[in-house]
Amino acid sequence: MKKILLVLFCLASFTTYSQGFDKGVKNLNLGLGLGYGIGLNGSFDIGVTDAISVGVIGSYSRRSYGLVGYRWKQNYILGGARVGVHLGKYLAEPLNIDESKIDPYIGITGGIKAISYGDNYSGTNDVGVRIFGGLYAGLRYSIKENIGVFAEAGVPLSSIGVTFKF
């Protein structure tokens, strides 16, 4: 009887355990960002293995500055792809963290950025499109099963905000 109870307990523990990241998990991050000025950042990732995700990113930011009588403004719109490696299961034991709530990750990103800029003095207005690439390190913390907070530090984008898990 004790063995049956032990097996049932182990099975129940296994089935109710929720990992911070796993194959098939979808995460939507929405936040405030820094990079090319202050703006809004978003990303969507899908777990393709229990440690690797692929996804898309998007960002809008605006930067303006000037002196008396002169004003310069720049708008940035970025779109691209990203690949992340999720480290929770590798760091859980050595750092004594709860991988069901904490998802540390690192990754690379790349895509296209559109830049528009202009000033009120010379009348210069222009638009340019460039390729960008970068790196990031982040952490998601689950508050509830499907919602949490995240922070990412990276080049060219860093952000902090809310994350949704599907």
Percent share of the chain, pLDDT over 90? 58
Q: Do residues 143 and 134 touch, judged by C-beta distance below 8 A?
A: no
Biggest distance spanned by C-alpha atoms of the chain: 86
At 106-119, the pLDDT tens digits run: 999 999 999 998 88
Between 32-36, 56-60, 119-123, the lowest mean confidence (pLDDT) is in 119-123
Pick among 2.60.34.10, 2.40.160.20, 2.60.120.1600, 3.40.50.920: CATH of 19-165:
2.40.160.20
The chain-wide mean pLDDT, for the chain, equals: 85
Q: How far apart are CA 47 and CA 42, in angstroms?
A: 17
Q: pTM to 2 decimals?
A: 0.78
Percent share of the chain, pLDDT over 70? 88
Band (pLDDT 50/70/90 cuts) for residue 120 is: confident
> Residue 2 CB: number of other CB atoms within 10 A?
6
Q: Using the Cα atoms of residue 24, residue 145, residue 140 and residue 10 in order, give the sign of their dihedral.
A: negative
Q: Do residues 132 and 80 touch, judged by C-beta distance below 8 A?
A: yes
Most confident stretch, 4-8, 98-102, 113-117, 121-125:
113-117
Q: Residue 43 phi/psi, 5° resolution?
A: -150, 155
Show me where the domains of the chain are located.
Answer: 19-165
**Two tokens, residue 153:** 């530090």
DSSP state of 166: -
Q: How far apart are CA 152 and CA 57, in angstroms?
A: 13
